[in-house]
Amino acid sequence: MKHLHRLLVYSLYPPRLITKDQLQHLYQYVIMLIIAIIIPTSAIASVTCKSKFVNPITDICWSCLLPISIGPLKVGGGSSPAKRDTKNPKSPLCACSKGGQPIPIPGISLGFWEPARMVDVTRSKYCMVGLGIDLGGNDIRDTGTYNRAHGKSRMSHNSFYHLHYYIYPLIYWLELITDLICLEQVSFDVAYLSELDPMWNDEKLQTLLNPEAFLFGNPASQAACVLDCVSASVDLPRDDLFWCSGCWGNIYPFSGANADHVGGVQNSSLLTARVLAKMHRVGLAKSTSTTDAKINGKICKKQTALKIKKSQYKLQMVYPKSTRGAMGCWPIGLSDMAYSSFKEYPWDGQDWSYVIWRKRNCCAF
């Protein structure tokens, strides 16, 4: 480095002609040159799209389909997070009107978990992590960030990520089961891009449009989330504490910013819960689990739910690692200490994609 410095000095100014002002000018030139090289490089690196097309066969934890229930009878249940289940109707029989017919058609009360949605959590704008596609837009402005909060403890960090929400009816898409009326028979679609949502990076605007967020920012409401954390760790999260996401943090506000970033897996799970809650809030997600098997009861069709029903969802990571086995999928709010090991690492392991498993109770004819 010393010889390089001398070479620059001697090449620009002969030894007998160098003055103090010229030497200062040379130092300024070198500093500007270093800044011009370093800043664009780091900016490009910070928004590099890291993605992979999720293999619908090998990357999916198909054991998360279980348990399957007929009325109160279950097959494949258990105490592990991947096998936990919501309450099911007590009766194995049901009856629903179909096609506008006045006489209900009898059927069987069926319950199962289906891969229904997929969510990307990314630092790069328009980086479709789970599709292996980069749509561009990797400019510096409004990209995701991860920073340590200035003047705070080493454990205090803040971050911002973009999210993409996909309609992902995998069973119907692959035609694994073609004659079950309970399956969601829709095509794949990109339902939400946070890059197009001005509220995703503006917490104040988000709070104005969702004023209930003011009620859940106080210490008492936050303390109640401890109960949700315990409930999610033992069984499933509490649906009555809809503003909590268990051990992950507060669901409100519906934005990509997190002032208490503990780890990438915890933060990406929290943001996934937020976008699910946001979809419920705007009417794009519905309640699909129920214990009501009465004639033409709630089991006959999906119900509008403006508050998220957390117990009907489980998350499975499919990028950067695909999870399997007892921890193949987990309920909203379960402590990330149980499944986050080796799921975050430099370069390839700083963006995430999750398949959303959704509980479905229906009347199968």
pLDDT, tens only, 69-103: 999 999 988 889 999 999 999 999 999 988 778 88
Residues 275 and 261 sit within 8 Å (Cβ to Cβ): no
pLDDT tens digit sequence for 50-71: 889 999 999 999 999 999 999 9
Backbone angles phi, psi at 359, to 5 degrees: -75, 135
Residue 290 pLDDT: 95
Separation of alpha carbons 204 and 181, rounded Å: 43
Task: List the one residue out of 304, 350, 320, 53 whose CA is nearest residue 188.
Answer: 53
Structure token pair of residue 170: 């995998």
Q: Using pLDDT thresholds of 50, 70 and 90, give the confidence band for residue 262.
A: confident
Residues 84 and 246 sit within 8 Å (Cβ to Cβ): no
Q: What is the mean pLDDT of the chain?
A: 83
Average pLDDT of the residues in 202-214: 85
Task: List the one residue out of 68, 95, 292, 85 whose CA is nearest residue 177.
Answer: 68
Question: What would the 3-class secondary structure string for the chain be?
Answer: CHHHHHHHHHHHCCHHHCCHHHHHHHHHHHHHHHHHHHHHHHHHHHCCCCCCECCCCCCCCHHHHCCEEECCEEECCCCCHHHCCCCCCCCCEEEECCCCCCCCEEEEEEEEEEEEEEEEEECCCCEECCECEECCCCCCCCCCEEEECCCCCCCCEEEECEEEEEECCHHHHHCCCCCCCCCCCCCCEEEEEHHHCCCCCCHHHHHHHCHHHHHHCCHHHHHHHHHHHHHHHHCCCCCCCCCECCCCCECCCCCCEECCCCCHHHHHHHHHHHHHHHHHHCCCCEECCCCCCCCCCHHHCCEECCCCCHHHEEEEEEECCCCCHHHCCEECCCCHHHCCCCCCECCCECCEEEEEEEEEEEEEC
Please report where in the chains the tokens 């969510």 appear, as a residue. 119
Structure token pair of residue 352: 């995430």
Q: Averaging pLDDT over each range in 175-189, 199-213, 274-288, 336-350, which range is the top one? A: 274-288
Res 234 pLDDT > 80: yes
Q: Using pLDDT thresholds of 50, 70 and 90, give the confidence band for residue 212.
A: confident
Q: What is the CA radius of gyration of the chain?
A: 26
First to last CA, the chain: 78
Average pLDDT of the residues in 242-262: 90
Task: Tell me which of 8 and 287 has the higher pLDDT.
Answer: 287
Q: Using pLDDT thresholds of 50, 70 and 90, give the confidence band for residue 346.
A: confident
Q: Using pLDDT thresholds of 50, 70 and 90, give the confidence band for residue 15.
A: very low
Please report where in the chains the tokens 């950067």 appear, as a residue. 320
Residue 299 pLDDT: 93
Residue 29 pLDDT: 45
Residues 306 and 280 sit within 8 Å (Cβ to Cβ): yes
Lowest mean pLDDT among 182-186, 191-195, 208-212, 319-323: 182-186
Residue 126 pLDDT: 94
Separation of alpha carbons 133 and 319, rounded Å: 13
Backbone angles phi, psi at 110, to 5 degrees: -115, 140
pLDDT tens digit sequence for 146-179: 554 433 444 557 889 999 999 999 988 887 775 5
Q: How many beta carbons lie within 10 A of that of residue 66, not counting itself?
A: 17
Residue 349 pLDDT: 82
Residues 244 and 93 sit within 8 Å (Cβ to Cβ): no
Separation of alpha carbons 336 and 267, rounded Å: 10
Residue 40 pLDDT: 40
